[in-house]
Every structure is written in structure tokens, then in C-alpha cells.
Structure 1
Amino acid sequence: MSELAGAKRHFGNGPLSQGAAFIYTLLVVELLILLTTLPGLVPLLLLAADRSNIPLFAACAIPLGPALSAALYALRNRSDDLTELHPAAAFWRGYRLNFLGSLRIWVPCLVWLTLIGMSLANFGAAGVPGWWAGLLVAIGIVVTLWLGNALVITSLFSFRTIDIARLALLFIARTPGVTLGNACLLVLTGLLTAATSEAVVALLGSVFALVLLLTSRPMINKITEEFTA
């Protein structure tokens, strides 16, 4: 009986089972990302790649913020044990807990990036010096890197929005490895979108969320040690 109980306890803990649990979690999270972003994803795929549609692109991206936040939460709290798999429940819990908090971070950044995008798209008509374009690009990169940090923090910790904003900015400088990793992820996402389409990027949503989570691990560890002890 004791041997049977021991075998039962260890069922689902082997490497093959852990790999299957990992893939299953990614697939479930991906399906839920697609489901929760569907109201924006469908019109996004129908929009023409025209600069006049930049504000519409941003509006279509609004549902992506809470979906990514929920994905980060679900992947952070995933189990490698096949007998303890609840990725859908974790996703919906993260979606419910972080919905408003993620939008407080996501929407203002979308507004900033939209303004920058519109300025760059109409740069020739503005009659401003050429260096201004470089400054706008630099601001856009910093805003996007800040957004990545802030989204991770708001997904995994219960801080006030103002504290999340400060920590996200602080850790851009304090964890250069995280910043570099997120910058590479940003470039990869942009290149993949340009080479294929937004649909391909959407189909890899859970993978990008996982990479963001992994690159942000040093920041997560420091916040846990210094601000939650």
C-alpha cells in the first residue's frame, strides 16, 4: 500500500510529464489570450497599413493589456505537475485581479505611443529639425521598456499605481540585463510583425509573455526581496 501511495504521489513529476505540463499550459494560455483579445484582434487584421489608422491600431490593442497581464500571472503560477494543472483558472484569476490595474498602465502608454507614431508618420509636414525624430524614437523606446516593467509588476504584485510607475522607471536603470532583454524582445516583435503579420505575433502571445517573464526574473526577485519582505 505504501509503495502504491508513493507512486501516486510521484505521478506527473517526471521530465516528460513536466514537459507536457509546460506545453499544455502555454497552449491554454495562448487560447485564452486570443479569446480575450478577439474584440480588438479581428478589426486590427482588417485595418489597412496606413498612417491615418494609427489611432485605430492603438484602440484595437487595448484588450491586449489585461490579456498579457493575465498570461504573466498564469505563467508565473503554473505547475509542472500534471495532476495539479489549472492554467485556465490561473489566467482568469489574474485577469480578474489585474484588469483595472493593467489598464491604468496600458492605456496611457498607448496614448503616448500613438502620439509619437502620428508625429513620426507626419514628420515631413511638421517642419521641425531632423534630430527631433531621433528624440521621439528614443522616448518611444523608453515608454515601451517602462511599460514592460510596469506590466510585469502590476501582474505579480499588489502595489499602488504610482508605486508601480516609480518602480518600473527605477528598474530600467537598476536591472540593465532586464532592460536589454526586453529591448531585444521588442525588436524581435517588431521584426516579426513587419516580416509576417499581427496575426502571427498574436499566435505567439503566450511565448512572448513567457520570455518577458523570464527576462524580468532579476527585477521580480529584487522587488520580492526589497519591497515585500
Structure 2
Amino acid sequence: MLVAAAVCPHPPLIVPEVAGEAAPELDGLREACVSAVRSLAATRPDALITVGGAGAGATRSYGPDAAGSLAPWGADVRVGDGTPVLPLSLTLGRWLLDRAGAGLPASHEAVASDAPPEACARLGETLAGRGERVALLVMGDGSARLTVKSPGYLHPDAAAYDEALARALAGVDVRALAALDPGEAAELWVAGRAAFQVLAGAAGGDAVPGLAGELLYDEAPYGVGYLVARWLPR
């Protein structure tokens, strides 16, 4: 059963070694993410699991000790030992767990960017069934088309999409997350769509009266929607 969740974005620049002194505007984001992860771990779940997007067709499970690297993003920052295998989202998820002192997760779950909603829901249901008290750290960005300087340039529907996403995360609106359209998400460059729908599946596809939502961060410093939220027991 899902008893808590945290949602964080995964920009490489959140890591100080990657950003250097070039991204002080992300200090607040980093602090919000660490706060969300610490509050997630404080619920003492039977299983804490990270969930994050990966490439098309790349849904798979990694063990708790799986390693990741930020070398492709310009810094020799590693999490774990051995050959780096984690995608960016899960690499940063493990980095946040380390920074928050939350320990290793039960597993790292990569969900393909093109996974259909039904597959995401099934994965969420499976993860929620892995213990009596399951917590998820869900890594996902909002739209990357919010401004003319965004990676995907400005899209007229991007701002409204991210506003609705923020409301859903703040309000524990599971139905809204489950209803996200993969085609629209792809059009708006929403990297977190599949991971958000895994969260919806874990919550049971309906409202979760035992959880209260809180939005800790909602900004787009580089034209990409970065949202930090937590769902904790009331």
C-alpha cells in the first residue's frame, strides 16, 4: 500500500559539481528536493522505491546498489559502485537519497518514456504491493516548452499543462495524473509523464484520503517546469 510519495525533477544542474557557480537559482530547488526526500524517509516505510523515466522501451528494474554517473553532463559525479547503468532520472534520485541521508531504496524502477498509461498503472500497482507500507520517490520534469528559451521552444499549451500538473500533485489528484495523455505530453516535452502515472497506479487510480499533498517548489528557471511535491500521511 502506498503510504507516502515525493516528486522531484531531474536536471543535472541540481548537483553542485555539475553547476559549479553557474546556477545559484537552483539552490531553492535543491533544498526543496532534499526536504521532500527526508520527509519521505521519515515515514519509515517497509519499502522505499525510486521511479524515473528512461528512454523509449527502457522499462526495467535495477537493484538498490545500481550505479549511475553524471559524466555525460560534464562532471565526474557517481552514485554507487560498478558500471553506471541508471538513467539520468534514477541517478539523480539516488543522489538525492544520499544527500538526504535516506539510505538505499528497495529498488530503482525505470519506466519507458513511451510506456502507455495502462502499463504505468500496472507497474505502480505492482510496486505498491511490495510491502504493507510503500513510499515512492518519483523523478520527473514538467514541460520543457514554457518559454522561447526552453529546450523545446515556446508552446502555447505548456503553461496551462504545468499549472494543471502542479494542482494535481498538490491536491493528490490521482485521477488527473492517471488521465495524462501520452501524445500531449510528448508534444509538450514532459519528461515525467510516465513516472507520474506510475505514481497514480500505486495510489490505486483514485483519491487517497489518508494522504495530504504539499507543493514545495514550482518554478521554470530554464523554461522547464520543475515541481517538487510530497504526499504524506495526514
Q: Answer whether TM exceeds 0.5 for this pair.
A: no
Give TM-score scaled by structure 1 length. Answer: 0.28
- Point out the structure with the larger strand share: 2
Task: Using structure 2 for the length normalisation, give the TM-score.
Answer: 0.28
Higher helix share: 1
- Rg larger for: 1
Greater relative contact order (CA < 8 Å, ≥ 6 in sequence): 2
